[in-house]
A and B are shown apart, each in its own frame.
Chain A
């Protein structure tokens, strides 16, 4: 049945976009566009960050798909967008689109892990300098090292376990310990600046802002769900680091 595959494809596209951290209105829009270009003029779409529904108007047919993990992965958003454009221009047909989405879902191209760790080092040390506004050159190597270590631990643990928020907690804990040891060894002098720089690759600043954008755009459920998730991961990071301030 043609409509069956069309709805499944719409749901898959929507789920990949939510997993990539897209704005909600774009998810709605893309799903509706795919449905329209596939020959269904009136598709009813309802999306939340934890699950999505699509149905045909006046027909006893609704499909749903839960969303289990959410992160920020722009490659996914860009690729779904690209595929949807190609489908609209009729460069690819529905089975090809479905196949391409399924492949994207299983094998998203990623930067190599060492490059991400290096990027975390650069991100930590440069943000430390511009946040502190004190041109704190001495702490730069330590902030880079601590930021890279924290991100590496975070990345390794999130690939090992399904338990939520534990990778943030342990990543932040490593940041705290190594920053404290580094300052004790005389590699840096301002513990606060080093830690603020080094947690930047982990903190959910973007998620907090996105949740408020979702809410202002009228997606109240999405805004609250994403905001709650951001709040919990901020709490995990804060607790992970505060342990250091408590004991030392």
Chain B
């Protein structure tokens, strides 16, 4: 598959999945489109970093969350809505939900080593995402204070 087509698939699918999840958690209608873009941009940053530049999972998650955090700040200024309206759906492609499920499944099947490895990964990914958001918040605070 050519690279541009992969890029199109990644962007459109992450946009769609974010909008769909936003409907599930009842995001107000007028914020759906921008929430979708927050998700697509965050996933694109993660995907390029992880699969093309190979910077490692944690840094890719951190910078992906950082991008989503920045999008959330900008969009919340435009729409005059709380930041989490855009952040929470935008996170869905990055969030370690699938890993958490795999960890519990391994535990139930008695594969304790795999389970503990996956659990540590869940905690670290969640931590990386949280730090990414904190950095975005810090940057936004500094910028707004100056203007």
Report A's interface with B, CB cutoff 8 A.
21-23, 26, 72-78, 81, 85, 108, 110-111, 115-116, 119-123, 126-127, 129-131, 133, 135, 151, 196, 199-201, 203-206, 208-213, 216, 234-235, 237-239, 241-242, 245-246
Closest to A111 in B: B23
Asked whether B105 lies within 8 Å of A204 as measured between CB atoms, the reply is: no
Report A-chain residues with C-beta under 8 Å of the C-beta of B107: 238
Closest to A73 in B: B26
Q: Identify 23 residue pairs between A and B in the complex whose beta-carbon atoms are under 8 Å apart, listed by A's number.
A: A21-B88, A22-B84, A26-B82, A75-B26, A78-B82, A108-B26, A119-B20, A119-B23, A120-B20, A123-B20, A126-B13, A131-B98, A133-B51, A135-B6, A205-B96, A206-B25, A206-B88, A208-B126, A209-B129, A210-B88, A212-B126, A238-B108, A246-B108
Asked whether B13 lies within 8 Å of A129 as measured between CB atoms, the reply is: yes
Asked whether A22 lies within 8 Å of B13 as measured between CB atoms, the reply is: no
> What is the 8 Å Cβ interface bit string for chain B, positions 68-87, against chain A (1 contact, 0 not)?
00000000000011101100
Q: Tell me the bound Cα distance from A35 to B13 in angstroms.
A: 44
Contact A209 to B130, CB < 8 A, known contacts A75-B26, A126-B20, A203-B97? yes
Report A-chain residues with C-beta under 8 Å of the C-beta of B123: 212
Asked whether A130 lies within 8 Å of B20 as measured between CB atoms, the reply is: no
Closest to B15 in A: A126
Asked whether A209 lies within 8 Å of B13 as measured between CB atoms, the reply is: no
Contact A216 to B104, CB < 8 A, known contacts A22-B84, A208-B95? no
- Judge if B10 is at the interface, Cβ distance under 8 Å: yes
Q: Tell me the bound Cα distance from A78 to B87 in angstroms.
A: 13
Asked whether B24 lies within 8 Å of A208 as measured between CB atoms, the reply is: no
Q: Tell me the bound Cα distance from A212 to B127 in angstroms.
A: 6
- Judge if B45 is at the interface, Cβ distance under 8 Å: no
Report B-chain residues with C-beta under 8 Å of the C-beta of A133: 51
Report A-chain residues with C-beta under 8 Å of the C-beta of B51: 133
Asked whether B93 lies within 8 Å of A216 as measured between CB atoms, the reply is: no
The listed residue with most A CB atoms (<10 A of its CB), out of B14, B81, B126, is B126
19 new A-B contacts, CB < 8 A, other than A208-B97, A216-B134, are: A23-B84, A74-B22, A74-B84, A74-B88, A75-B26, A78-B85, A123-B24, A130-B14, A130-B47, A199-B98, A201-B24, A206-B25, A208-B96, A208-B126, A212-B130, A238-B100, A238-B103, A238-B104, A242-B108
Q: Which of B1-52 contact A (CB under 8 A)?
A: 1, 6, 9-10, 13-14, 16-17, 19-28, 31, 43, 47, 51
Asked whether A127 lies within 8 Å of B17 as measured between CB atoms, the reply is: yes
Give chain B nearest CB distance to A98 CB in angstroms.
Answer: 21
- A-B pairs with the 10 shortest C-beta distances? A238-B104, A205-B97, A205-B95, A203-B97, A242-B108, A123-B20, A119-B23, A122-B20, A126-B17, A119-B20
Closest to A22 in B: B84
Contact A72 to B105, CB < 8 A, known contacts A22-B82, A205-B100? no
- Judge if B58 is at the interface, Cβ distance under 8 Å: no
Asked whether A241 lies within 8 Å of B101 as measured between CB atoms, the reply is: yes
Asked whether B43 lies within 8 Å of A130 as measured between CB atoms, the reply is: yes
